[in-house]
Structure 1
Amino acid sequence: MGATMTMQKGSNVPVPAGTVRVEVGRQNAPGAPDVDASALLLVAGRVRDDADFVFYNQPAHASGAVRHEGKQTAADRVTDTLVVDFGKIEAGIERVVLAASADGGTFGRVAGLHVRITDAADGAEVARFDSTDATVETAFILGELYLRQGVWKFRAVGQGYSSGLEGLATDFGISVDEPQHAPAPAPHAPAAPPAPPRPAAPALSLIHISDGARE
């Protein structure tokens, strides 16, 4: 396959490979937020459960179809990589959303944000989409792999979320608990100092998102 051109939002290309590497990259600039890649495997537009979310603290889907390989840092760029094996994708899954989240700032401070799809067998570039219009977003859907008439394709999306990875995940059915407020003390309760309120506990996947160690 010849050299590919940078894609525009909404455009799509076929993916003639059995397994692809999905590289989410940015320029390695001082003070820039860290960027983490993730993937959501969708049936009818939603995950079946939290196990269909692959990211740094849940790095492999049970089917083996998607796995998170982690970051590489060079002098000029940082990349976070996922691998997608189409032969292992379970029946019914018709989309794999490819997302990125910013840790420590917004995507307006991230230069050179892009997603690049390559054939895992020979490294040939299949598709590339550069996101150039970010401002206050803290999460992005950069693209998606989708099945159409038996053929896998890649679509450039470029949809941002100012609500972070939590907001993006909620849109696709990842469960997020609502904050639980502590009840007010009784009027005649003993004058003991109240315990500090516990922070709201999000769902399991989002505890991992917030607290997990990154590679």
Structure 2
Amino acid sequence: MVSLHVGLLVIADCNYAPGDQQVFIRYGKFSNATLLLDFGFTLPYNNYDQVQVEFSIPHHDCLRALKLELLNSHFVPTVKDVNGFNSSGSSFIIKEVMSASGKGRGIPQSLRAYAHVLCSSSHQELSDMAMEAAQSDGRLARVPLKNRTREIQAHQFLLSKFSHLVEEYNACLKSLGPPTAPCMFENVSLRRQQTRDLLTGELRVLKSASAWLKYYCERLT
């Protein structure tokens, strides 16, 4: 047991002597965003990278009030993940989808339900979703819409959103210049590489989600 001057207490599970072996620390299953903000470093490839995306119902949508009422009635409590991100309301956490032809794990079901509501064009569609939720576990759109055209439209909406984000991320990466670009200051070079690691990881997540959404829509057509 070692008491540090800063007030921390380190408990070892065995005896150590100077020079015996290297001691490692485990930071946890954090994304590069959290590692950079909390610990000051990033990983070239981080399996736990994720992206938080925001959506909103346009004010000009004539069904906006009904859609908001439906979403509020079937509101899912805020869930905070290990990175401190919240997934609730119109904010969603996207994780890497490992297989484009799989079940789409990584894209929250709540996000797909939100897209169903957002793309609805009639009172009847909203009423049907509310009835379906009431007859199950209270959550919206737990199964694909019976109207295949609407199901495709909702997922194409998400695909469009993610595709736009992919373009923005690519533009940001391009603005950083090539990885081998010379830099006069070591600190600037380090920050540039950390930014590249962060953007590359989140871009990978967005591309994986886009690939799955594209496959899903093509499968339904």
TM-score normalised according to structure 2 size: 0.25
TM-score normalised according to structure 1 size: 0.25
- Which structure has the highest strand share of the two? 1
Larger Rg computed on CA atoms: 2
- Which structure has the highest helix share of the two? 2
